[in-house]
A and B are shown apart, each in its own frame.
Chain A
Amino acid sequence: MKKYLSFFRVRFSTGLQYRMAAVTALTTQFFWGLLECIIFKVLMESNSVAMPMSYSAVVSYVWLKEAFFALFNTWAADNEIFGMIVDGGIAYEFCRPVSVYTMWFSRSVGSRMAEAALRCGPVLLGALLVPAPYKISPPSSLFAFFMFLLTMILAMGVTVSFCMIVYMLCFFTISPVGWRVLLTGAVELLSGAVIPLPFIPQPYRQVIELLPFASMQNIPLRAYSGDLTGDHLLPAVLLQVFWFVVMTTIGVLLCKRAERRIVIQGG
């Protein structure tokens, strides 16, 4: 266990290394969040009757999404791992007395948490300082806040185990480009990164909510504002656990297959 914690630590300290990168990313996220809030305001004022979420819930959703962006985005997977698979740098990874899957898993969790820890504070502070309709509201209840934390951890687990599958697939296709292009479009939409999933019309919404991508940021960001609560919350959490177990299993199996047929490129 200590071994895997140390991967986490190294990624964390690497994340802290680049101050300028953090500052620029912060600025982007802050303005992006503000822009989204404004767009949704216009949208909801034009037709306020049939809106599936309250405006304050949408605002919280947007700001939390930007603040914890690093925990949930699937397309910004660890480039170093892709690099190692493509150019053969994994030779050293396989010389370590640890499981490759667990090593990369803790490494991904480490870098995501490091980035999120750096960014969430300032973004949330900004979200508290903007004027009224765009300001983030406090969690709907203490229970909602607790559920937000719990589902956020699960959502990160689902996201990372999904990325692990992508890494493993790269062993078989060599170039990661195809997978990543697919991810930027499809998963962004299906996970609720573009618009919150409740805005997607039925019957599509029903299907999408069962997919693993809906078990990512969709759940915690809606649990916070109380949009997802009561009878709907428990099945959602169970679905998260289900997808986490399924995707981790697939990832581990793929990893075993990859280990057997691995070829180290480039001498």
Chain B
Amino acid sequence: MIVMDNVCKSYKVAKRNAGLKEACKALFHRETEEIQALKDVSFQIADGEMVGYIGPNGAGKSSTIKILSGILTPDRGTCSIDGRIPWKNRVEHVKQIGVVFGQRSQLWWDIPVVDSFELIKEIYSITTPAYKDSLEELTSLLQLEEILKTPTRQLSLGQRMRCEIAASLLHRPRLLFLDEPTIGLDAVSKLAVRDFIKKMNTEHGTTVLLTTHDMQDIEAIADRVILIGRGKVLLDGTLQDMKQLVKQENMEKKAEEGKNFKENEYIQADKYVEENANGEDKERFDNLDQVVAKLYRQLDIL
């Protein structure tokens, strides 16, 4: 059970204009700006849920994941995961969670992947039989046999990402936080990763929180979507809810336009609305990227 309650986090960002003159000026006086990455973020996630966490770039998704994994300390607010406060009981907490940061690597660059796995086994004090079980399962599900003996530096991005995910799950965490796990993957790898995450959820009851910009990830995995923009939770519901919201707004707009037309008596408004909603717009609502882009614009969070 994850409970986030009014969590706030701000960063100080140094800013200056381009140019040498400005750089010299900044030596003596530095202008910093406080950026509110998270403003009163609250939500709850029950055990065994699969939640997609979406929002435009810089919305605060990664900050949330980092707070949940005990890396960052928020300025205000409380957060409790199975009764633990992540940043206070960090060592205790991280034993129970698995984290994948899509843009970083936890595997040792120079040594074969399986050596990294062995090290992780020691760090998490996994018993040898349990380790063998997990490794076997992960190897077959993520198709790792071929690449386990290769040094990390010689893996392709997709191969590496599959190994990263396996590395985060060796200790069988009850909670899994994925920060853009499908970044840069080809279609086959993407499908494999999605299937795998679903399987972990159904077979082991793993709770999954996933951030991504790939809406198909969300569609395939998440039953529930939390939308965040400018550090605030704006929507918490299903994908269907999101579509509905965009559709509604769209209809209202069209009706408005239609009314104007009616006054001019050029076209019949009802017909216009109907045509638009069913024709070109229907296609639009099937394309999730379009829906989300519209939603971002509509909510003015870009």
Closest CB of chain B to A86's CB: distance in Å? 13
Closest CB of chain B to A72's CB: distance in Å? 24
Complex CA distance for A30 and B117, rounded to whole angstroms = 38
Complex CA distance for A13 and B119, rounded to whole angstroms = 12
Is there a chain B Cβ closer than 8 Å to A201's Cβ? no
Specify which chain A residues have a CB less than 8 angstroms from the CB of B11 in the assembled complex.
263
Complex CA distance for A79 and B104, rounded to whole angstroms = 17
Q: B92 touching A97 by the CB < 8 A rule?
A: yes
Contact partner, B122, options A3, A99, A266, Cβ 8 Å = A3
Q: A97 touching B71 by the CB < 8 A rule?
A: no
Closest CB of chain B to A241's CB: distance in Å? 28
Within 8 A of B (CB), among A234-267: 259-264, 266-267
Specify which chain B residues have a CB less than 8 angstroms from the CB of A198 in the assembled complex.
none
Closest CB of chain B to A120's CB: distance in Å? 22
Contact partner, B94, options A18, A97, A260, A266, Cβ 8 Å = A97
Is there a chain A Cβ closer than 8 Å to B115's Cβ? yes
Is there a chain B Cβ closer than 8 Å to A20's Cβ? no
Is there a chain B Cβ closer than 8 Å to A153's Cβ? no
Complex CA distance for A106 and B104, rounded to whole angstroms = 23
**B-binding segment of A34-42, A87-95, A159-167, A208-216:** A87-95
Is there a chain A Cβ closer than 8 Å to B267's Cβ? no
Complex CA distance for A95 and B66, rounded to whole angstroms = 9
Residues A10 and B73 in contact in the complex (CB < 8 Å), given A2-B122, A267-B103:
no
Residues A17 and B111 in contact in the complex (CB < 8 Å), given A6-B118, A89-B104, A263-B11:
yes
Q: A91 touching B92 by the CB < 8 A rule?
A: no
Q: A264 touching B72 by the CB < 8 A rule?
A: yes
Q: A6 touching B71 by the CB < 8 A rule?
A: no
Residues A95 and B71 in contact in the complex (CB < 8 Å), given A13-B111, A88-B104, A264-B66:
yes
Closest CB of chain B to A91's CB: distance in Å? 6
Complex CA distance for A259 and B86, rounded to whole angstroms = 13
1/0 contact trace for B203-241 toward A, CB 8 Å?
000000000000000000000000000000000000000
From B98, which residue of chain A is reached at the shortest CB distance?
A95
Is there a chain A Cβ closer than 8 Å to B18's Cβ? no
Within 8 A of A (CB), among B121-142: 122-125
Is there a chain A Cβ closer than 8 Å to B188's Cβ? no
Closest CB of chain B to A73's CB: distance in Å? 21
Is there a chain A Cβ closer than 8 Å to B64's Cβ? no
Q: B70 touching A260 by the CB < 8 A rule?
A: no
Q: A91 touching B70 by the CB < 8 A rule?
A: no
Is there a chain A Cβ closer than 8 Å to B32's Cβ? no
Contact partner, B99, options A6, A95, A259, Cβ 8 Å = A95
Specify which chain B residues have a CB less than 8 angstroms from the CB of A88 in the assembled complex.
104
Specify which chain A residues have a CB less than 8 angstroms from the CB of B118 in the assembled complex.
6
Is there a chain A Cβ closer than 8 Å to B91's Cβ? yes
Is there a chain B Cβ closer than 8 Å to A98's Cβ? yes
Closest CB of chain A to B124's CB: distance in Å? 6
Q: A92 touching B119 by the CB < 8 A rule?
A: no
Complex CA distance for A87 and B101, rounded to whole angstroms = 13
Specify which chain B residues have a CB less than 8 angstroms from the CB of A7 in the assembled complex.
119
Specify which chain A residues have a CB less than 8 angstroms from the CB of B298 in the assembled complex.
none
Q: A10 touching B119 by the CB < 8 A rule?
A: yes
Closest CB of chain B to A17's CB: distance in Å? 5
Q: B108 touching A14 by the CB < 8 A rule?
A: yes
Complex CA distance for A267 and B66, rounded to whole angstroms = 10
Within 8 A of B (CB), among A173-214: none
Complex CA distance for A95 and B69, rounded to whole angstroms = 7
1/0 contact trace for A143-179 toward B, CB 8 Å?
0000000000000000000000000000000000000
Complex CA distance for A97 and B62, rounded to whole angstroms = 21
From B66, which residue of chain A is reached at the shortest CB distance?
A264
A3-B122, A10-B116, A95-B69 are known contacts; what are 9 more A-B pairs with Cβ within 8 Å?
A3-B123, A6-B123, A14-B108, A91-B104, A92-B101, A92-B105, A96-B123, A98-B91, A264-B62
The 10 closest A-B pairs by CB, nearest first: A6-B122, A92-B106, A97-B95, A94-B71, A14-B110, A97-B91, A95-B99, A97-B94, A10-B119, A17-B110
13 contacts between A and B (CB under 8 A): A2-B122, A2-B125, A3-B122, A6-B119, A10-B111, A10-B116, A91-B71, A94-B69, A94-B71, A95-B99, A96-B124, A97-B92, A264-B62
